[in-house]
A and B are shown apart, each in its own frame.
Chain A
Amino acid sequence: AQSVTQLDSQVPVFEEAPVELRCNYSSSVSVYLFWYVQYPNQGLQLLLKYLSGSTLVKGINGFEAEFNKSQTSFHLRKPSVHISDTAEYFCAVIPSGGYQKVTFGIGTKLQVIP
């Protein structure tokens, strides 16, 4: 079984400041890692994913994440946030074998302050 921990339920940050949203996972098997964004009253949109290869992954909207196997982390970063980045962000994992039942964290609400 897999589990995902997002330690920060809310993260306020000023516009144009950098941000890091933390994610740690636990799994007895190898996993693929994802970050999704959810805007109010909308479904989930994939920001980026790590399947294999380079541990630094770049996604849409200027976000990037780094996979750290030894620390079982997959933190999401953006060097300069915009008001439009205000949303809820979910870290997620799936086992790299078998079908893709996704296990999500509880989410982090990013609040960008003008």
Chain B
Amino acid sequence: GAGVSQSPRYKVAKRGQDVALRCDPISGHVSLFWYQQALGQGPEFLTYFQNEAQLDKSGLPSDRFFAERPEGSVSTLKIQRTQQEDSAVYLCASSAPRGEQYFGPGTRLTVT
């Protein structure tokens, strides 16, 4: 594809609901990153994949957050039992090994 795509672009969830956010990286990019951008803040690292392996999940804020990339391409970020503090824009980025990261447009999650 032409770039990193994310879906949905906007998601409204009631507190306690589970959500799944999808990221389609640039074809052939082995590295994939998830970031969380709270309102008025810079993006903060959540987790990193190299192909299907999740090599770093140190940024995941709680065990309600889970990410996967089973075939080394598309990735899903799942948030269980959403809370209001989970409201943020979730950004996905992909890169070639040691290359520039290309960011998707993000998914804006609002928890009511």
Contacts and interface: CB of A to CB of B under 8 A. Distances in A.
A90 interface: yes
Contacts of A4: 42
B2 interface: no
Given A101-B33, A101-B56, A43 B106 contact: yes
Interface residues of B, number: 25
Interface string A78-114: 0000000000001010000001111111110000000
A46 interface: yes
B42 A43 contact: no
Nearest to B56: A101
Contact of A106 (B33, B41, B100, B104): B41
Given A100-B31, A100-B98, A43 B41 contact: no
Nearest to B99: A100
A41 interface: yes
A45 to B, nearest CB: 8
A101 B45 contact: yes
Contact of B44 (A43, A44, A46, A104): A104
Interface string A54-79: 00000000000000000000000000
B105 A102 contact: no
A90 B106 contact: no
30 contacts: A4-B42, A6-B42, A36-B103, A41-B105, A42-B105, A42-B106, A43-B104, A43-B105, A43-B106, A44-B91, A44-B103, A45-B103, A46-B101, A90-B43, A99-B31, A99-B56, A100-B33, A100-B98, A101-B48, A102-B33, A102-B35, A102-B43, A102-B93, A102-B101, A103-B45, A104-B42, A104-B44, A107-B40, A107-B41, A107-B42
